[in-house]
């Protein structure tokens, strides 16, 4: 039997143990998610012809919401983006648990390594195992290759982004771009630390999230950039870094308040559901789903 002193030390140790920084999705973000998904496809495309999957349709686009000015990714039929895994940047750091070893396209540098190094915080680049970053934008000079530069629409490197994955809201930064890794211009990718916060440690360098239900939100403007002193760039774990940008992320999502009410493309209200992300959760019977939703193939659906 443990002594009282040992128990007290154990409780204290657990209290200091970092917890994965993820939070329930606030109503303001839920409404925006439902609005985007309910419209079927984005009405204001900045660039189109991108792919979420190698064997999928090339109908994904970078979109800008005219009411809030934020940028996001969307396909057609209500599809958003998936989440492939990026392990680029610093290698072998303190949070490296070997799961990135399964990746066959890891690069030793991210797009904005020079900016990170210029912050003079003791690191030369982002670490995918520590920094929750989003791969956003497409760069490359291959013939016929679709490109898109978010900077042309006011999004700044290393600015804060919001990611809605399932029933969680994660804050990250715009930390890398999609390059010419294959024959198609791909979208929907995030660092392994961000993906792990979303979907757990079953994620690895070669195993991401295939469903196109992830919403990536980029905020234009300098106020979205934490800068050298607005984030814990030298953090040794994901929790410490994500926590350091939470307050600014909470401020930025207030922009989403003008997104309106969720409707289908036909203008009819969506089926009753607490929010679309919740309705994608796993189920074993109808009681696990919200009203007017059914349990089909292990998932709640309309």
144 and 205 in a single domain? The answer is yes
Inform me whether the pLDDT recorded for 18 exceeds 50.
Answer: no
| Closest C-alpha to 217, from 86, 83, 115, 64 | 64
Average pLDDT over residues 142-149: 89
The pLDDT assigned to 103 comes to 81
173 lies in the same domain as 301: no
Which residue reads 């648990």 in tokens? 97
Whether residue 295 sits in one domain with residue 247: no
Q: Which domain holds residue 24?
A: 18-266
Residue 292 has pLDDT above 60, yes or no: no
| 36 shares its domain with 106 | yes
**Residue 178 near residue 135, CB atoms below 8 Å:** yes
- Establish if 3 belongs to a structural domain: no
Domain membership of residue 2 (yes or no) is no
Lowest mean pLDDT among 12-16, 179-183, 278-282, 286-290: 12-16
Its pTM stands at: 0.80
- Same structural domain for residues 252 and 299? no
Higher pLDDT: 139 or 18? It is 139
146 and 255 both lie in a single domain: yes
Q: Between 103 and 1, where is the model more confident? A: 103
- Domain match, 71 and 132 both: yes
Per-residue confidence band for 273, with pLDDT thresholds at 50, 70 and 90: very low
Torsion region of 206: left, alpha or beta (phi above 0 gives left; psi -120 to 50 gives alpha) = alpha
Residues 242 and 284 in one domain: no
Residue 251 placed within a domain: yes
pLDDT per residue as tens digits for the range 78-137: 999 999 999 999 998 899 999 999 887 778 899 999 999 999 999 999 999 999 999 999
In a domain? residue 7: no
Tokens of 6: 């040992």
Asked whether residue 96 falls in the same domain as residue 126, the answer is yes
Per-residue model confidence (pLDDT) at position 105: 74
Higher pLDDT, 160 or 274: 160
- Quote the number of domains for the chain: 2
| Residue 132 domain-assigned (yes or no) | yes
| Same domain, residue pair 68 and 137 | yes
229: pLDDT strictly greater than 70: yes
Categorize the per-residue pLDDT at 36 as very low, low, confident or very high, splitting at 50, 70 and 90.
Answer: very high
Alpha carbon distances (Å) from 94 to 18, 142, 223, 238, 254: 15, 36, 30, 11, 34
In a domain, 56, yes or no: yes
For residue 11, is it within any domain? no
User: Can you list the positions of beta strands (E) in 40-159?
Assistant: 45-50, 60-64, 71-74, 81-86, 133-138
Burial 158-178 (b: 16+ CB within 10 A, else e): bbbbbbbbbbbbbbbbbbbbb
6 domain-assigned: no
Same-domain check for residues 173 and 108:
yes
**pLDDT tens per residue across span 161-204:** 999 998 899 999 999 999 887 779 999 999 999 999 999 999 99
70/133 same-domain check? yes
């Amino acid at each position: 039997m443990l002594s009282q002193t040992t128990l007290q030390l154990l409780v204290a140790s657990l209290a200091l143990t970092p917890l994965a920084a993820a939070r329930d999705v606030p109503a303001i973000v839920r409404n925006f998610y439902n609005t985007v998904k309910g419209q079927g496809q984005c009405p204001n495309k900045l660039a189109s012809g991108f792919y979420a999957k190698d064997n999928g349709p090339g109908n994904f686009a970078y979109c800008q919401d005219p009411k809030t000015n934020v940028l996001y990714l969307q396909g057609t039929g209500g599809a958003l983006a998936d989440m492939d895994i990026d392990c680029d940047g610093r290698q072998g750091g303190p949070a490296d648990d070997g799961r990135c070893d399964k990746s066959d396209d890891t690069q030793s540098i991210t797009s904005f390594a020079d900016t990170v190094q210029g912050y003079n915080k003791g690191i030369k680049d982002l670490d995918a195992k520590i920094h929750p970053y989003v791969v956003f934008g497409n760069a490359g000079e291959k013939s016929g290759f679709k490109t898109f530069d978010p900077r042309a629409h006011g999004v700044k490197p290393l600015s804060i982004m919001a990611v809605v994955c399932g029933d969680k809201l994660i804050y990250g930064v715009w930390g890398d771009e999609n390059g010419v890794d294959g024959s198609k211009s791909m979208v929907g990718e995030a660092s392994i630390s961000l993906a792990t916060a979303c979907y757990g440690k079953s994620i690895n360098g070669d195993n991401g999230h295939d469903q196109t239900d992830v919403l990536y939100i980029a905020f234009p403007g300098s106020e979205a950039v934490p800068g050298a002193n607005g984030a814990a760039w030298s953090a040794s774990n994901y929790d410490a870094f994500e926590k350091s940008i939470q307050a600014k992320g909470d401020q930025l999502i207030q922009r989403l308040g003008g997104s309106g009410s969720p409707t289908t493309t036909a203008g009819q209200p969506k089926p009753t559901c607490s929010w679309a992300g919740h309705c994608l959760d796993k189920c074993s019977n109808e009681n696990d789903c919200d009203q007017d939703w059914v349990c089909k193939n292990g998932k709640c659906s309309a």
